[in-house]
């Protein structure tokens, strides 16, 4: 199923620019348990008469994507309902639960292909648990000079669902990093959100901050650091707090270098031992 989904995404990119463009502007959305979530998908094509060709897929962390709604079957409105405007489709999810957190993709059936939107992350309730903590990993002083890029990673441990991670450099917001997730036997998640910046930016003395938001109303957790040639690593990771914390040094992180269309894209794959 995962391979089929990936193939659909590739095929979508081949016909996207010519036939249809789907865009989900809500990159991330928080909603309380038992509320109604509304996920929007806009289209360059008139969907009023073609709404029956719209599908909705959900990908939960650590699971394969699944089709949760075919808008053709919308006569008997149940938990999932499709609402169409001329150039948009909205998925409404009533009495939503934490287990329904994940990334939602709208899709349109074109000929024998499915064309997908860019996805919207939905976080239901509070992802923070008593075991949650946040740690910031920074490059070993001499380990990144070969590549000319510095890789920073924000590790969010022991959460029950997705979180919102944002990065800023000296107060200026950056693009969202790429996230890799690990699922423990007890069902809790460890999320690793990674960004790559030019080496001269990292060594310029600017302040790098990772901010993690666990729910819609609670305080966020911020971890900050800056480059220091004589920086010494900390031994342990303290519990999450709002106080800035120097980054933990790592010796090396391996990153995949290909995205689905073959171009270069750095993605966290597996972390090596934290330098003692």
pLDDT of residue 18: 43
For residue 228, the model assigns a pLDDT of 77
pLDDT band at 165; cut points 50, 70, 90: very high
**Same structural domain, 220 and 261:** yes
| Distance separating alpha carbons of residues 227 and 140, to the nearest angstrom | 10
Domain carrying residue 214: 133-270
pLDDT above 90: residue 104: yes
pLDDT at 272: 34
Q: What is the mean pLDDT of residues 228-246?
A: 48
Answer yes or no: do 166 and 97 share one domain: no
- How many percent of the chain have pLDDT more than 90? 37
Reported as a single tens digit per residue, the pLDDT across 69-99 is 998 866 656 789 998 888 889 999 999 999 8
The helix or strand, by DSSP H or E, that contains position 69, with its residue range, turns out to be strand 66-70
| pLDDT level of residue 274 (50, 70, 90 thresholds) | very low
| pLDDT at res. 38 | 95
Question: Where among 79, 94, 124 does a domain terminate?
Answer: 124
pLDDT (mean) for 215-243: 66
Which of 96, 116, 92, 90 has its CA nearest to residue 105?
Answer: 116
Same domain, 252 and 138: yes
Q: DSSP for 243-262?
A: S--PPEEES-EEEEEE-TTS
Given pLDDT bands bounded at 50, 70 and 90, which one contains residue 146? low
Gyration radius from the chain CA atoms: 20
Cα 194 from Cα 247, distance rounded (Å): 13
235 and 110 in one domain? no
Same domain? For 99 and 76 the reply is: yes
Give a yes or no: residue 275 inside a domain.
Answer: no
Residue 4 pLDDT > 80, yes or no?
no
pLDDT computed for residue 77 by the predictor: 65
Kindly indicate the confidence band of residue 33, based on its pLDDT and cuts at 50, 70 and 90.
Answer: very high
Rounded (to 5) percent helix, strand, coil in the chain? 10, 45, 45
Q: Which pairs with CB-CB distance under 8 Å and at least 24 residues apart come from 44-51? A: 44/20, 44/87, 45/19, 45/20, 45/21, 45/87, 45/108, 46/86, 46/87, 47/84, 47/85, 47/86, 47/87, 47/88, 47/89, 48/84, 48/85, 48/86, 50/108, 51/82, 51/84, 51/89
pLDDT at 16: 42
Are residue 213 and residue 246 in the same domain, yes or no?
A: yes
CA dihedral (123, 126, 129, 135) positive or negative: positive
Claim to verify: residue 156 and residue 83 sit in the same structural domain: no
- Is the same domain home to 13 and 74? yes
Residue 157 sits in a domain whose CATH number is 2.60.40.10
Q: Do both 119 and 170 map to the same domain?
A: no
Average pLDDT of the chain to the nearest whole number: 76
Confidence of residue 109 (pLDDT cuts 50, 70, 90): confident
The more confident residue out of 121 and 253 is: 121
Q: Is residue 17 part of a domain?
A: yes
Q: Give the ranges where the chain is alpha helix by DSSP (H).
A: 2-19, 199-202
Residue 76, domain member (yes or no): yes
- Residue 275 pLDDT grade (very low, low, confident, very high; cuts 50, 70, 90): very low
**What are the residues whose beta carbons fall under 8 Å from the beta carbon of 130, sequence distance 6 or more?**
none
Lowest mean pLDDT among 32-46, 47-61, 119-133, 187-201: 47-61
Q: Which residue has the tokens 């079957």?
A: 73
203 and 81, same structural domain?
Answer: no
Q: Are residues 198 and 230 in the same domain?
A: yes
Using a cut of 0.85, tell me whether the model's pTM lies above it: no
Residues 25 and 150 in one domain: no
Question: Encoding tokens for residue 99?
Answer: 């287990």
- Nearest 5°: the CA angle 9, 11, 13 is 70
Core vs surface per residue 114-136: b (16+ CB within 10 A) or e? bbbbebbbbbbbbbbeeebbbbb
- How much is the pLDDT for 87? 87
In a domain, 276, yes or no: no
* Each residue's pLDDT tens digit, 193-216: 999 999 889 988 899 999 999 998
pLDDT score recorded for residue 91: 95
Q: What number is the average pLDDT over the span 139-150?
A: 66
Domain count, the chain: 2
pLDDT tens by residue, 36-52:
999 999 988 777 666 67
HSE value, Cβ hemisphere, 13 Å, CA-based, for 14: 10
Domain termination site, one of 124, 154, 171: 124
Task: Tell me whether residue 247 is in a domain.
Answer: yes
Point out the domain boundary residue: 92, 124, 156: 124
């Amino acid at each position: 199923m995962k391979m089929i989904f990936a193939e659909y995404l590739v095929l979508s990119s081949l016909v996207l620019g010519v036939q249809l463009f789907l865009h989900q502007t809500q990159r991330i959305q928080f909603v309380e348990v038992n509320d109604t979530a509304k996920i929007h998908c806009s289209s360059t094509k008139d969907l009023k008469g073609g709404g029956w060709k719209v599908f909705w897929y959900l990908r939960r962390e650590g699971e394969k994507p699944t089709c949760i709604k075919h808008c053709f079957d919308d006569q008997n409105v149940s938990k999932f309902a499709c609402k169409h405007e001329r150039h948009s489709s909205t998925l409404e999810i009533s009495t939503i639960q934490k287990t329904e957190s994940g990334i939602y993709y709208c899709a349109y059936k074109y000929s024998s292909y499915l064309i997908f939107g860019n996805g919207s992350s939905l976080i239901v309730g509070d992802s923070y648990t008593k075991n949650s903590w946040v740690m910031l990993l920074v490059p070993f002083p001499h380990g990144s000079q070969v590549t000319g890029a510095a890789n920073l990673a924000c590790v969010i441990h022991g959460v029950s669902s997705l979180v919102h991670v944002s990065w800023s450099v000296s107060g200026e917001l950056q693009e969202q990093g790429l996230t890799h997730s690990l699922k423990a036997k007890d069902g809790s998640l460890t999320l690793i959100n990674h960004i790559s910046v030019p080496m001269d930016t990292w060594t310029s003395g600017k302040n790098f901050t990772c901010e993690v938001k666990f729910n819609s109303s609670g305080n966020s957790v911020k971890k900050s650091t800056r480059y220091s040639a004589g920086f010494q690593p900390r031994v342990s990771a303290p519990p999450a707090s709002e106080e800035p914390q120097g980054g933990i040094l790592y010796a090396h992180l391996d990153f995949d270098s290909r995205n689905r269309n073959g171009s270069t894209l750095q993605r966290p794959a597996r972390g090596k031992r934290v330098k003692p």
